[in-house]
Amino acid sequence: MNLKQWHSEYQKKIISLEELAGKIQSGDTVTLGFGVSGPSGQLVDAILDRNQELENVRICDVVLTKSSRLVDPGFMASIDGRINSMSGFCLKISRKIFKEQLVDFYPVQGDDAADKLNKITDVLIIMVTPPDSRGYVNFGLSNFYHTDMLMNRRESGFRLVIGEVNEQMPVVFGNNWAHISQFDFFVENSTPIPTLPKIVPTKFEINFANHVLELINDGDTIQMGVGGISEAVVASLDGKNNLGILSEMAPAGLGHLVEKGIVTNNCKPFHRGKSIATFCLGDQELYDYVTKNPVFELHPASYTNNPSFIASHPNMVAINSAIMVDFTGQIASEGVGDRHISGTGGQLNFQMGAFWSQGGRAITLVSSTSKLPDGSLTSNIVPELPLGTPVTVPRTFADYIITEYGVARLRYKTRRERALELISIAHPDFRGELRDRLKTKFYFQGPRVFRA
């Protein structure tokens, strides 16, 4: 298709926000693009404006980063049954509607998100860059399920694919493109790209990072998530050499690590010389670094998060956070009881991949305590998880657990040995109580009867 042909086709597909909203039908599941490549709040609000005309519409996101009435508990309660929300992850922006039970949770993780979304989607809406000279748009700072959903549209049969064209979205290389012929409609709408503030690690987080650094060696390939501890790890990597990046999310400070020669990606068996991820969420400095950078690529999460692919990287180090760990090594990272805090994300994918990797290490970071509403502390190393708490990583894949008090290695330990290891890194104020619970929980308490 030459320039004149694709440009003419593109112009015919441009519609307004109001016209786009009019394409939604009762009973539709509308899936939004992932993270910062999700549509603008204006576009979502245009759909919500039709709440009196529609019934049984679901708006589905996996990671929502843009404000709209979709996260307004009062408004969503008022349209319950006409338009409802569902999500695969809970960031801070969504906490209120999760707390009020106004959003349904759709359990997905990186490697299966596209498949699960394909099965339920009627309309897919993604923010994209303007077309290039050959008629290709770029998914910008997030891919995750975008490429896979478009590639498998014929088999899945969802009705519409709509691109919100934003000139402020940067181009990021990799398997991160689609032709305009794969879209039914476009809306042109220039809006700012959300950023996260730069995090200055606390002394507490730096202490965590020092324990993590003991487990990172020259030549390792690493994955890490967002947060102060990750920032502290990145800031403390001076002195390490030839690290590689294979991650779900591009780590903050990646540009500095490359400039200093800490990250070279020269030891990876695949994509040598390039950092690989499936999405970016960070500050403007990170976005500037990844824009049209030939040594950074985004790929579908079905690829980056495939545990077998991750495991094919020797010395893979996965670094993720948790809320709570029980005596047997069950890792809870999504919530406590019925209280929802996040989602599975890619944690289990990378935990398994690093666990299977030759020389790999799967690291879980958990604060030893949490503060209760009355100001008192409670231990996050527990004999058993509270009723209803989802297990993100099963105990069979537990490896290294780190608190601010040290490192526990669980992989080759029995149930009793694991509990003792975990108690050794629990807050000192709770260790006595935890030892007492261990005696009653994992040791024989009745009279010993010996038979001849």
pLDDT at residue 227 tops 90: no
- State the Cα–Cα distance between residues 298 and 32, nearest whole angstrom: 18
Q: What is the pLDDT of residue 389?
A: 94
Catalytic positions, written as ranges = 248
> Residue 272: which CATH number?
3.40.1080.20
- State the Cα–Cα distance between residues 214 and 216, nearest whole angstrom: 6
pLDDT digits (tens, 9 = 90+) for 312-331: 999 999 999 999 999 999 99
Q: What is the pLDDT of residue 1?
A: 63
pLDDT at residue 388 tops 90: yes
pLDDT band at 365 (very low <50, low <70, confident <90, very high): very high
pLDDT band at 449 (very low <50, low <70, confident <90, very high): low
Question: Residue 196 domain-assigned?
Answer: no
Which has more confidence, 53 or 202? Answer: 53
Calculate the dihedral angle through the C-alpha atoms of 221, 224, 228, 232, rounding to the nearest 10 degrees. 0
| 3-class secondary structure per residue, the chain | CCHHHHHHHHHHHECCHHHHHHCCCCCCEEEECCHHHCCCHHHHHHHHCCCCCCCCEEEEECCCCCCCHHHCHHHHHHCCCCEEEEECCCCHHHHHHHHCCCEEECCCECCCHHHHHHCCCCEEEEEECCCCCCCEEECCCECECHHHHHHCHHHHCCCEEEEEECCCCCCCCECCEEEHHHCCEEEECCCCCCCCCCCCCCHHHHHHHHHHHCCCCCCCEEEECCCHHHHHHHHCCCCCCCEEEECCECCCCHHHHHHCCCECCCCCCCCCCCEEECECCCCHHHHHHHCCCCCEEECEHHHHCCHHHHHCCCCEEEEEECCEEECCCCEECCEECCEECCCCECHHHHHHHHHHCCCCEEEEECCCEEECCCCCEEECEECCCCCCCCCCECHHHCCEEEECCEEEECCCCCHHHHHHHHHHCCCHHHHHHHHHHHHHHHCCCCCCCCCC
pLDDT at residue 208 tops 90: no
Q: What is the pLDDT of residue 92?
A: 79
Using CB atoms within 10 Å of the CB of residue 153, give its burial: 0 to 12 exposed, 13 to 18 middle, 19+ buried: middle
- Do 166 and 234 fall into the same domain? no
For residues 404-412, average pLDDT: 96
Which has more confidence, 46 or 4? Answer: 46
pLDDT at residue 115 tops 90: yes
Q: What is the pLDDT of residue 209?
A: 87
Where is the domain boundary, 155, 188, 221? 188
- Do 209 and 320 fall into the same domain? yes
Kindly report whether the global pTM for this prediction surpasses the value 0.75. yes
Q: What is the pLDDT of residue 234?
A: 81
- Do 161 and 83 fall into the same domain? yes
pLDDT at residue 199 tops 90: no
For residues 362-373, average pLDDT: 94
Where is the domain boundary, 188, 223, 243? 188
> Residue 33: which CATH number?
3.40.1080.10
Which CA distances in Å does 102 have to 90, 95, 399? 12, 10, 36
pLDDT band at 207 (very low <50, low <70, confident <90, very high): confident
- Do 158 and 119 fall into the same domain? yes
pLDDT at residue 433 tops 80: yes
For residues 61-83, average pLDDT: 93
Q: What is the pLDDT of residue 450?
A: 59
Structure tokens, 66? 């843009």
Q: Which phi and psi angles does 271 have, rounded to 5°?
A: 50, 45
Q: What is the pLDDT of residue 4?
A: 72
Q: Which phi and psi angles does 374 have, rounded to 5°?
A: -85, 5
- Do 132 and 226 fall into the same domain? no
Question: Residue 193 domain-assigned?
Answer: no
Using CB atoms within 10 Å of the CB of residue 432, give its burial: 0 to 12 exposed, 13 to 18 middle, 19+ buried: exposed
For residues 101-124, average pLDDT: 93
Domain housing 364? 203-439
pLDDT at residue 60 tops 80: yes
Which has more confidence, 50 or 5? Answer: 50
- Do 89 and 216 fall into the same domain? no
Q: Is the dihedral of CA 215, 219, 223, 229 positive or negative?
A: positive
Structure tokens, 320? 């993720």
For residues 47-63, average pLDDT: 95
For residues 355-372, average pLDDT: 96
Return mean pLDDT, the chain. Answer: 93
Q: How many domains does the chain have?
A: 2
Q: What is the pLDDT of residue 451?
A: 64
Question: Residue 449 domain-assigned?
Answer: no
Terminal-to-terminal C-alpha distance of the chain: 88
pLDDT digits (tens, 9 = 90+) for 248-287: 999 888 999 999 999 999 999 999 999 999 999 999 999 9
Question: Residue 451 domain-assigned?
Answer: no
Beta carbons of 316 and 308 less than 8 angstroms apart: no
For residues 232-241, average pLDDT: 88
- Do 209 and 349 fall into the same domain? yes
Q: Which phi and psi angles does 201 have, rounded to 5°?
A: -60, 140
pLDDT digits (tens, 9 = 90+) for 9-27: 999 999 999 999 999 999 9
